[in-house]
């Protein structure tokens, strides 16, 4: 059986199951500022702690929604090239998102973690296309910071 076929069989057995829960990660003002630099989004609700303290309904700065979304890759552990999830993988790519929502802002110094549920897997030539529902939880907050259906491909 090929590496791709082995991975497909394993993944098919996990559809509709939670496949990963990350460790908690603290979103710092430095993270937010670096994201603002990278994207050019310097809106004060993200980058000006003094103004946010007095003028924001949150009482502090908040992470950009897209910063929260971008943490999925790191939190899910899918960026370690030395420990691929399946033997024979040449590379994995982010193919896109089917749906993304930001139900609750992530305040600076909040701890977040991801919970991943496998929704589907299918063969696409020499790749497997995987759709996951990823929820970014905020410690101590009932609503999540982000819920996304991510689409990735594993190439064999």
Q: Give the model confidence (pLDDT) of 19-69 as tens digits.
A: 999 999 999 999 999 999 999 999 999 999 999 999 999 999 999 999 999
Helix locations, 13-152, DSSP H: 29-39, 44-47, 49-55, 65-75
* pLDDT score, position 2: 94
Q: Annotate 74-90 with DSSP letters as a single string.
A: HHTTTT-TTS-SSTT--
Instruction: Give the predicted TM-score (pTM) of the model.
Output: 0.92
Cα 29 from Cα 32, distance rounded (Å): 5
Tell which wins on pLDDT, 76 or 13: 13
* pLDDT digits 0-9 by tens, 92-150: 999 999 999 999 999 999 999 999 999 999 999 999 999 999 999 999 999 999 999 99
Residue 109 in contact with residue 27, Cβ under 8 Å? Answer: yes
pLDDT of 79 > 60? The answer is no
* pLDDT score, position 32: 98
**Domains of the chain (ranges plus CATH)?**
3-155 (3.10.129.10)
* pLDDT score, position 80: 64
> Going by C-beta distance under 8 Å and a sequence separation of 6 or more, which residues neighbour residue 74?
25
* pLDDT score, position 81: 62
Residue 56 in contact with residue 62, Cβ under 8 Å? Answer: yes
61 CB-contact burial (10 Å; exposed 0-12 / middle 13-18 / buried 19+): buried
């Amino acid at each position: 059986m090929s590496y791709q076929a082995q991975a497909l069989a394993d993944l098919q057995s996990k559809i509709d199951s939670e496949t990963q829960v990350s460790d908690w990660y603290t979103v710092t003002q430095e993270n937010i500022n670096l994201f603002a630099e990278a994207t050019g989004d310097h809106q004060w609700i993200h980058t000006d702690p003094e103004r946010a303290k007095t003028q924001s309904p949150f009482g502090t700065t908040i992470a950009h929604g897209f910063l929260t979304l971008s943490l999925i890759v790191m939190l899910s552990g899918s960026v370690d090239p030395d420990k691929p999830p399946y033997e024979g993988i040449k590379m994995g790519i982010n193919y896109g998102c089917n749906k993304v929502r930001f139900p609750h802002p992530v305040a600076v110094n909040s701890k977040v973690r991801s919970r991943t549920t496998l929704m589907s897997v299918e063969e696409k030539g020499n790749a497997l296309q995987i759709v996951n529902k990823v929820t970014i939880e905020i410690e101590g907050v009932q609503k999540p910071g982000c819920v996304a259906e991510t689409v990735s491909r594993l190439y064999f």
